[in-house]
Structure 1
Amino acid sequence: MSRGLVRSDAGLLEYESWDLPQAAARTYPHASAEDLYMLMNWFSLAFLFDDQFDANSAGHAERVTAVAQEMITIPFRPPGSLPDVVCPITEAWAEVWSWLSEGMSESWRNRFASSWARFLAAHSHEVRLSAAGVQLGLDDYVALRRITVGIHHSIDAAERSRGFEVPVQVQAHELMRAMRNAAADAIAYMNDIHSLEREERRGDPHNLVTVLRRDRGWSRQVAIEEAVRMTNRHLNLYERLESKMPELCDELGLDADGRRSVDMGVEGIRNWIRGNYDWALSTGRYAEAKAGAAAEAERKGQGAVDDLLPPIGTFEGPLK
């Protein structure tokens, strides 16, 4: 609470119910205790910012966009630079990025920053769609959801958590890109199933089950069953693609160290698929029923218990 990321007792109770230490430990099981602490801090600012996207008050999209643009910019500035748009989220990200990028190559930093930028830009687009009352069809939704799920940069962070890097020629290969996309899709659909009740309470139209119901005219149960089938199809696709990785290593002529890095990279993807699933089963973030301030915020369309964004109309120059 001293950093301003949580501003009320009710907000603290809601935050603690998410159990983000478990999320970090399950998705990055090989990280040291020190690195897990900072990964949890990253999860904290990211999840708290994610909830800021869900409000629907006047001018909210502009506030979200201003902070998202600042968070996109931070990794491309000299290390230690202070944010221009100052709020708890941007200050926390500037600190976490200094740690997260430490010891990693310029290639890795650019890859992570690019994935992070696409994720935040897609979220900003999504909040503007909501503000305009636009409802996406299935094809447009799944294309956007692949980015807003935030898995690509999360997979990149698995390399930082173990101090290795997947060779650039592997990352650039079509097979690796397809694997990462299949994993992102599967995790996105699982997340939408787990979070369905939460997003229904909030009236959030950006959920696979909700989109299937609207796009296909199906019942809630039929839409859930199709979402499960879509998840399984992408998990099966991921497994088929992963089985081809040894052939890719042969094709590229990787040495033993390169192959070991590829194996750890693949393991990092698998840890995210399984770890995210296990955490989602127990976290209070996706609880079917909410009470107190969290339920009240959802009912009022506030999204988050605490408002962490700068005031509207104050984005020119540093904010205090």
Structure 2
Amino acid sequence: MIDFGPTDVCFAVPFPAGISPDADAAGTHLVDWFDRMRISDRGEVQGAAPFDPRQAHVVGLWSGMCYPQARGEVLNLITCFNGLWLVFDDRFKGPHSKTPATVAPVADRITGRLYQPDRPDPMDALESAAADLLIRLRQRTSPVWYARFAGHLERFLAGLVSESLARDHSPTIEDYLGWRRWTIGTWANLDLVETAIGYDVPPSVYHAPAMRELRHAAADAVIGINDVFSLPNDQAGQDPNNLVLRCRAEHGVDRDAAVEWVRRHVERAHARFQRAAARVPFLCDDLRLDEEHRAGLGRYIEGAGQLLRGIHDVHLVNPRYRS
């Protein structure tokens, strides 16, 4: 019996809220794109609930909350990515639809499509939509950015297979966080911050320890928030892959104590993010970056914080997480 809802848990998110003025237009674009890609047609995406166009439209609002600096076609692309992500997630809901035998073939097909989105193989509606989106992103972004983004999505898809293999086991919290950092999708979301602000983080900066810690902290915060809000759904679907449930199993505590443990985990992750962000100006000094790069990195850090705030706020209003 689930006797609490997400509004009973208070997360203090130390980043400002915002919204793009183009959010409504992006929602309209997504509705049209779903119709064109036949995503809304019953049966076209096997195993996924057909998307209500009204829900598709509100994804524009959610995307605008997460990427308030994005405008026009850039926000359209981000909204299509987020909408398709929800459809993909729906495809693997329930105890029988997340078996390795069902997850692995789809993951392998989409992975191949990441690096050859325009190859002429037969595709279902989901794969066709993914190909269309990837082609649009590749045309608009740099080769270095796209290669990194595709690599993050490949790890996400591989993580889904690991997640399906763990359903019949009891992974430790450490093991769970290890592959959940990939399946939560935060690193691909952070890549899209660069697209939203029109600035590519240089590879030498991106792979620096401070930036790596910033990404890990962001992922850990999103994992905790998502797993608290999705706990009723995960329990109803008999899905053990949830940080609250992993905490209960590993520490032998009741639900309320486990939720509090996760809340503090999120609080620590936010603090880690802020400490890592504070190190970036010193990184700029060490690398002798010019003012253009310093300004770009400042916008990126700001956008990453806005993303974390937006993800939290979307969980508050998203009917998927209402118990």
Task: Mark yes or no: TM-score above 0.5.
Answer: yes
Structure 1: where are the runs of 5+ without partners? 289-320
Counterpart of 1:12 in 2: which secondary structure?
coil
Structure 2 residue aligned with 1:6: 40
> Is the aligned partner of 1:148 residue 2:187?
no
C-alpha separation in 1, matches of 2:182 and 2:193: 18
Structure 2: where are the runs of 5+ without partners? 1-33, 44-48
Instruction: Give the number of equivalent residue pairs.
Output: 284
> Is the aligned partner of 1:35 residue 2:78?
no
Structure 2 residue aligned with 1:94: 131
C-alpha separation in 2, matches of 1:203 and 1:15: 29
Contact 2:94 2:238 in 1 (8 A): no
Deviates more, 1:32-41 or 1:197-206: 32-41
What's the RMSD between the two structures over aligned residues? 2.2
Which of 113, 119, 130 is the matching residue for 1:81? Answer: 119
Structure 2 residue aligned with 1:46: 85
What does 1:1-320 align with in structure 2 at a 5 Å threshold? 2=35, 3-8=37-42, 11-13=50-52, 16=55, 19-57=58-96, 60-77=99-116, 80-82=118-120, 84=121, 86-130=123-167, 133-288=168-323
C-alpha separation in 1, matches of 2:71 and 2:169: 44
Amino acid at match of 1:210: L
Amino acid at match of 2:115: F
CA-to-partner distance for each residue in 1:205-234, whole Å, 9 max, x for gaps? Answer: 111111111111110101001000111011
Cα distance change, pair 177–123 in 1 and its aligned pair in 2 (3 A): same
Amino acid at match of 1:66: P
User: 1:30: how far off?
Assistant: 1.5
User: 1:268: how far off?
Assistant: 2.2
Contact 1:167 1:262 in 2 (8 A): no
Contact 2:51 2:87 in 1 (8 A): no
Amino acid at match of 2:288: G
User: 1:58: how far off?
Assistant: 7.8
C-alpha separation in 1, matches of 2:260 and 2:97: 36
Contact 2:118 2:131 in 1 (8 A): yes
Counterpart of 2:50 in 1: which secondary structure?
helix
User: 1:235: how far off?
Assistant: 0.6
